[in-house]
Structure 1
Amino acid sequence: MTEQSETPGLDLAVFRRWYDAERPGEIGGELRASVIAGGRSNLTYEVTDGERWWIVRRPPLGHVQATAHDMGREYTAMSALVPTDVPVPTTYAHCDDPDVLGAPFYVMERVEGTAYRRAKQLAALGPERTAAIGGRLVDVLATLHQVDPAAVGLGELGRAEGFLERQVRRWGQQLEGSKTRENPDADELHRRLTARVPAGDDADARRYDGIVHGDYRLDNVLTGADDQIKAVVDWEMATLGDTRTDVALMLVYDTLASLPSAGLVSDVSTAPGYPGTDELLSRYAAAVGRDLGDMGFHLGLAYFKLAVILEGINFRFQQGKTVGEGFDQIGAGFDPLIAAGLDALGKD
């Protein structure tokens, strides 16, 4: 039997031997596979034997820093959340041996749904359905943030204490390693974030601790034909920490839609009917049953984080290490995001 695939990074014959040993009898006929487009980080494959379907996830080709594309973290987070009200795909198997496919990987169910990335996709649904989908995106995030990590076996997923300070330090280091030019405003934003890290050891601050997805937005969930969210995906940055960072980043992604680099992320927030910032915040606060407090620091951090991510992509593009269309625009988003971050912090 000849396995057929045009999927670099996924040798179907090797995969079949491994999966047959993990879950004997599941695979029937000849395997075929294709790459699912959309992601710019980990590789996602759709695999079928003609009757059953599987999704396989692995890091990018040639990547050697497992901590940046942590398959074990994704698999652990989703596996633990299956029994909860957070919609996640059912996980089947995980391989941490890089000798099998060249990198760690895992296998999960294929969930029928759409990862909405474009405003025109939502526009075709109409304002009422778009508003409902945007509201449900917030509801699912609130559901996640109310899960007790220890109760589902995720108490060791991360360390909530000192989370915000580590985030500020980490993204500052990331910027230093991928600068394409000096930018005093970016340095100033990082300085002010460092100076304004909220205290994390009092009861008021700790009440926001929980499971953080790390990259929550509409195209990282799968929405069904009934406009219900069927699954939250892309858990590689999941950890424990201040859950308001998820809320802030979701809002900042919406802001990014108005920038020149929007085509490389998402512009869904510009679709007619998509909820505005105040509506999203009010809905989330009502769902979790607590006030979010001053979101200035969290928004400033989210703007900084996303600016650094864009600068990293721009850095690789200028070195000729990024393939694809539209990357020449990515650098244009950096300055507006830094300016928005400074504005979010207000005056010292």
Structure 2
Amino acid sequence: MTDTPEAPPGLDPVRLREHLDAVRPGLVAGPLRARLFQGGRSNLTYLVEDGQHAWVLRRPPLGHVLATAHDMAREYRVLGALHPTRVPVPEPLLLVEDDTVLGAPFYLMEYVPGTAHREAAALAALGEQRVHALGIHLVDTLIELHGVDPDAVGLAGFGRPEGFLERQLRRWGKQLDASRSREVAGIDELHERLAKSLPASPAPALVHGDYRLDNVLVGEDDRIRAVLDWEMSTVGDPLTDLGLLVMYTELARRFDGILPGAALAPGFPTTAELVARYTKGSGRDVSGLGWYVGFASFKLAVVLEGIHLRHSQGRTVGPGFDRIGELVPAFVQFGLDAIKEQ
């Protein structure tokens, strides 16, 4: 931060303050300063401060075209629905759908202090007992989320649970076709196996869509203070969240340094512990979890294959992107193994 207002890409602090003074007089106490948080899936996230208060602002990526892929109103709606529940989320404060203020719709929410654990070394500093307790709390928070009745909190029509898995698989198959630039051993076999063994979904629930340790903020008391990044949320099959959590936990252990590796910290619960905790707390049948782990692996492989394509064309850069392509077949094989083992 500097002592004078700066304009990070996509956010003009002066224009923002003018708008806030007009629609929420008294909210801002001084000149605004803003900083773009690094990381995140695709939407841009900023810390905004006035010297006395702090907020977080979310907006679509620069130059975005498909509003449906970066729906600020949708994120704002789910935060507003969950804030009164036991699921910890930041309080949403203001939705602005007029793109004349910042060039795109955005919303403002409270700033929640906490740590998003991505690295094993930092998490390990807590000690094995605290790390284990945090891993268990991560699952318990997911159970709380999946226990929310969407209709009761104002999220009727938020998703289409009927045919959810079939649509998801079809969508990611199309994404694979759009990302093809080479033959990837096993990826079509994985897609076919998933299509031929679609499970019967349990009762629908509110699904986060990218639930993992580095998408929550942990307070100094080791409790989860906020679940972040709701852009993939919908109402659908809750076991997709559990399958993804298991996949990231297992792959972090197998591919240290490539994926967020906090699960490598001594004391973090084993996959069996995570699944047993979820089963007991949710009461759901998870005997078919291998399919969901395989599906999560397929989605990750497709995402990484897209990154590989863009990197090979010189359209994206980043640390380790030159290695992404060689990892995709290994992730595909992990998905195949998960389906075979169920």
TM-score interval for Structure 1 and Structure 2 normalised by the shorter chain: over 0.9
Deviations 1:288-338 (CA, angstroms, capped at 9, x unpaired): 123323212111111101111111222222222223322112223211111
Name 2:220's counterpart in structure 1: 225
Task: Find the aligned partners of 2:145 and 2:291 in 1 and give their Cα distance.
Answer: 22
Matched AA of 2:250: T
Contact in 2 for aligned 1:264/1:327 (Cα 8 Å): no
Q: Cα offset for 1:184?
A: 4.7
Change (3 A) 1:169 1:161: same
After superposing on structure 2, the runs of 4+ consecutive aligned residues of structure 1 that deviate more than 4 Å are none
Matched AA of 2:294: G
Name 1:247's counterpart in structure 2: 242
Task: Find the aligned partners of 2:58 and 2:221 in 1 and give their Cα distance.
Answer: 26
Contact in 1 for aligned 2:215/2:229 (Cα 8 Å): yes
2:211 corresponds to which of 213, 216, 233: 216
Q: How does 1:109-188 map to 2 (within 5 A)?
A: 109-188=110-189
Contact in 2 for aligned 1:222/1:231 (Cα 8 Å): yes
Percent of pairs with identical residues: 54
Q: CA RMSD in A?
A: 1.7
135-144 or 263-272: bigger deviation: 263-272
Deviations 1:1-33 (CA, angstroms, capped at 9, x unpaired): x96124110011111122223322101111111
319-328 or 149-158: bigger deviation: 319-328
1:332 corresponds to which of 326, 331, 338: 326
Name 2:314's counterpart in structure 1: 320
Deviations 1:87-144 (CA, angstroms, capped at 9, x unpaired): 0000001122233212221110000100000111111111111111111000000000
Length-normalised TM-score, structure 1: 0.93
Length-normalised TM-score, structure 2: 0.95
Task: Find the aligned partners of 2:123 and 2:310 in 1 and give their Cα distance.
Answer: 32
Contact in 2 for aligned 1:3/1:13 (Cα 8 Å): no
Matched AA of 1:43: L
Query: What is the number of equivalent residue pairs in this alignment?
Result: 340
Secondary structure in structure 2 of the residue aligned to 1:17: helix
Q: How does 1:66-85 map to 2 (within 5 A)?
A: 66-85=67-86
Secondary structure in structure 2 of the residue aligned to 1:215: coil
Deviations 1:207-246 (CA, angstroms, capped at 9, x unpaired): 2x10000000001000000000000010000001110000
Deviations 1:165-209 (CA, angstroms, capped at 9, x unpaired): 01110111111111231225101111111111124xxxxx442x1
Name 2:301's counterpart in structure 1: 307
Task: Find the aligned partners of 2:185 and 2:45 in 1 and give their Cα distance.
Answer: 38
Contact in 1 for aligned 2:293/2:338 (Cα 8 Å): yes
Contact in 1 for aligned 2:190/2:335 (Cα 8 Å): yes
Name 2:335's counterpart in structure 1: 341
